């Protein structure tokens, strides 16, 4: 009996603690959401915590009518779609032969890839290389450098090497070549790993900041994160402060709306892929 009470108490304390941590993790988002939906006067008076005060969509209307934000959204969206597709194909093309023992280069190429995990070129030589490749201020600089990461390759290789070889063998006897086996048999069996790495690659490309700030100069090619920086932290005023007194939005509420705007796509994809990515992350870290 006493043991039971102690156990209950123990469970309760842990649940309480974890809930508090969870709330701390989510509060910033809620507070920013509330700010984006509140009237600027209420925000300035410091009345807004987690719930909007004097609810208004004014900030959202303003943000959603900004053509430059949508343009950047488009650039990032395109880069993410093209980049993720390309990355998955090229990573899989490299990982598949590497998972075969009878492929003579499997070991050497494995080392070739792993070395890049340990030694990374400093930023300046990297910058000069990309420039020499003609990728400066070029849309493809948002895509091509993310084609393979060693970490993702290792995850995919170990996934492929676990798959049963029988199906492949029988296809081979039926006269199918490796490309056919790859598209028809291997890929359909690889949904979990494709979903995981698809998420990893797309989040990486969606959130990328270093490549854009190093290599993108024309406003027309600004991806979302650079635009967000312009809006959120670069200290640029979005609206003329002398007129904000008359409006329901101000810099703070607009920044908040922008933050939520940028987070929504990730939050929309997240629940669908969660079941896969935990496995993927584990596989990568245990074997990598």
Partner 1 sequence: MGLKENIKKYWELYLMVIPGIIFFILFKYVPMLGITIAFKDYGIFTGIKDSPWVGLKHFKAFFEYPDFWRVFNNTMIIGFLKIVLSFPVPIVLSLLLNEVRNLKFKKTVQTVFYIPHFFSWVIIAGLTFDLLSANGVVNSLLGMLGYEPILFMQRTEYFRLIVVLTGIWRDAGWGTIVILAAISGINPSVYEAAKIDGAGRFKQMLNITLPLLVPTLLVLLLLQIGRFLDIGFEHVYNLLTPMTQSVGDTIDTYVYRVGILQGQFSATTAIGVFQSVVGLTLVLAFNKLSKKFSEGGII
Which of residues 52, 83, 145, 198 is near partner 1 by CB under 8 A? 145
Q: How far apart are CA 242 and CA 251, in angstroms?
A: 12
| 160 near partner 1 (CB under 8 A) | no
- How many chain residues bind partner 1 (CB under 8 A)? 96
Q: Which stretches does DSSP call E strand in 36-180?
A: none
Residues 162-221, interacting with partner 1 (CB under 8 A)? 177-179, 182, 203, 206-207, 209-210, 213-214
Stretch that binds partner 1, among 56-64, 109-117, 185-193, 236-244 (CB under 8 A): 109-117
| 101 near partner 1 (CB under 8 A) | no
Residues 233-252, interacting with partner 1 (CB under 8 A)? 233, 252
Measure CA 114 to chain center: 23
Residues 247-286, interacting with partner 1 (CB under 8 A)? 252, 255-256, 258-259, 262-263, 266-267, 270-271, 274, 278, 281-282, 285-286
| 157 near partner 1 (CB under 8 A) | no
Tokens of 286: 């245990």
- State the maximum Cα–Cα separation within the chain, in Å, rounded to a whole number: 77
Tokens of 103: 């492929």
User: How many CB atoms neighbour CB 217 within 10 A?
Assistant: 12
Q: Which stretches does DSSP call E strand in the chain?
A: none
Residues 2-41, interacting with partner 1 (CB under 8 A)? 3, 6-7, 10-11, 14-15, 17-19, 21-22, 24-29, 31-32, 35
Counting beta carbons within 10 angstroms of the beta carbon of residue 43, is it exposed (0 to 12), middle (13 to 18) or buried (19 or more)?
buried
Measure CA 36 to chain center: 23
Q: Closer CB to partner 1, residue 64 or residue 115?
A: 115
């Amino acid at each position: 009996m006493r043991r039971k009470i102690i156990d209950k108490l123990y469970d309760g304390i842990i649940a309480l603690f974890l809930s508090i941590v969870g709330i701390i993790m989510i509060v910033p988002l809620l507070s920013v959401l509330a700010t984006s939906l509140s009237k600027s006067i209420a925000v300035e008076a410091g009345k807004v915590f987690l719930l909007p005060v004097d609810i208004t969509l004014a900030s959202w209307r303003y943000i959603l009518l900004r053509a430059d934000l949508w343009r950047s959204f488009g650039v990032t969206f395109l880069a993410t779609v093209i980049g993720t597709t390309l990355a998955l194909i090229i990573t899989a093309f490299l990982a598949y032969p590497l998972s075969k023992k009878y492929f003579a280069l499997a070991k050497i190429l494995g080392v070739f890839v792993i070395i890049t995990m340990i030694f990374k070129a400093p930023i300046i030589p990297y910058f000069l290389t990309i420039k020499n490749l003609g990728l400066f201020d070029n849309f493809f600089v948002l895509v091509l450098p993310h084609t393979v990461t060693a970490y993702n390759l290792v995850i995919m290789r170990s996934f492929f090497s676990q798959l049963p070889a029988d199906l492949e063998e029988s296809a081979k006897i039926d006269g199918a070549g490796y490309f056919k086996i790859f598209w028809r048999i291997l890929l359909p069996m690889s949904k979990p790993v494709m979903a995981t790495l698809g998420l990893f690659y797309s989040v990486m490309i969606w959130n990328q900041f270093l490549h854009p700030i190093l290599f993108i100069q024309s406003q027309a090619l600004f991806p979302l994160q650079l635009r967000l920086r312009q809006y959120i932290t670069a200290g640029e005023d979005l609206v003329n402060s002398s007129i904000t007194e008359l409006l329901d939005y101000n810099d703070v509420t607009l920044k908040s709306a922008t933050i939520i705007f940028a987070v929504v796509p990730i939050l929309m994809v997240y629940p669908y892929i969660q079941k896969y990515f935990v496995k993927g992350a584990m596989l990568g870290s245990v074997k990598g």
